[in-house]
Structure 1
Amino acid sequence: MTEFTTTQRTRRYLQSGAMLLLVCLPMLVGCAVGSDTWYTRISDSDRADHDTGGLPFDFSGAGGMDNSYTVPVWNDEGEKTELTFGSDEPIPDDTWVQIETQAVRGVVSWEPVGEQDVPEKPREEILEDTAS
């Protein structure tokens, strides 16, 4: 059995701690940063079957779930972007959805909401976008 000196043990602990910090820092930053709220209305054409191709990790944004959605979304100020998220079950057509995102982590949750629960500015933008 190899005996380590105090200096060698200290160096190993510091290296282990540094590696742990590098691995966990992005997760900690994502938790410390506030979340953003986005809104959209799902249509049947937004859904795609999702397959990870047998890879153990899924970096598509669908979270390894069976149904993938890449949709335009709007925030409270009416700013538009596009997000990808996943669902185990298909989301019914014309469902209004509220999506929470965080820096680094991306989409962290989504839930169906009533049209009346969507703030006025994003609701107007969504209705205008789907009318065209």
Structure 2
Amino acid sequence: MKKILAFLLPFILLSAGAWFGYNYYFGGKDYYTRITTTGKVNTGNFSNGEKYTEYDYKQTAYDKKGEKTVQEMREIRDKPLRINAYLKLKVNARKGVLSWEEVSEKDVPKKALEKLED
């Protein structure tokens, strides 16, 4: 029994530490927003001379409880995000918007949708 505990306890502690570390750096809270503008457009060149277009968005977003936040997103894309598209943002408190995905209107929580349509 002592040998099993000697193996199991460090394994549990290391697993819990890894989970908390991952969540701290790569985890986040889900927010929902609707794209209403094309964003601020910037152009430039990469170090290899290739041109790029960058779109900066400052969006009001809501969580599933309807609590408001303002998030900034910077996207290097060929064209701006689609107007009136609903996005689900994964937001880390330390890093800001980590990722986003377009979702349908029915996938947006009711309280967030009510706020977005105001």
Tell me the equivalent position of 2:83: 93
Structure showing greater Rg = 1
1:31 is aligned, of 9, 12, 22, to 22
Say what the alpha-carbon RMSD is for the aligned residues: 2.5
User: What's the TM-score once normalised by structure 2's chain length?
Assistant: 0.66
| Percent of aligned positions that are identical | 28
Deviation at 1:106, TM superposition (A): 1.1
What number of residue pairs does the alignment pair up? 90
Deviation at 1:65, TM superposition (A): 6.5
Does structure 2 conserve the Cα–Cα contact (< 8 Å) formed by 1:30 and 1:102?
A: no
Amino acid at match of 2:40: A
Amino acid at match of 2:42: H
SS in 1 for 2:73: strand
Amino acid at match of 1:31: Y
Instruction: Kindly indicate which of the two structures has a greater share of residues assigned to helix.
Output: 1
Instruction: Kindly indicate which of the two structures has a greater share of residues assigned to strand.
Output: 2
User: What's the TM-score once normalised by structure 1's chain length?
Assistant: 0.60
Residue 82, structure 1, aligned to residue 73, structure 2:
no
Partner Cα separation in structure 2 for residue 83 and residue 92 of structure 1:
17
Residue ranges of structure 1 left out of the alignment (5+ in a row): 1-28, 57-63
Deviation at 1:86, TM superposition (A): 1.9
Moved beyond 2 Å, runs of 4+: 29-34
Tell me the equivalent position of 1:48: 40
Tell me the equivalent position of 2:54: 66
SS in 2 for 1:67: strand
Deviation at 1:100, TM superposition (A): 0.4
SS in 1 for 2:117: helix
Deviation at 1:102, TM superposition (A): 1.1
Tell me the equivalent position of 1:104: 94
SS in 1 for 2:66: coil
Deviation at 1:82, TM superposition (A): 0.4
Relative to 1, partners in 2 of residues 1:93 and 1:36: Cα closer, same or farther, differing over 3 Å?
A: same
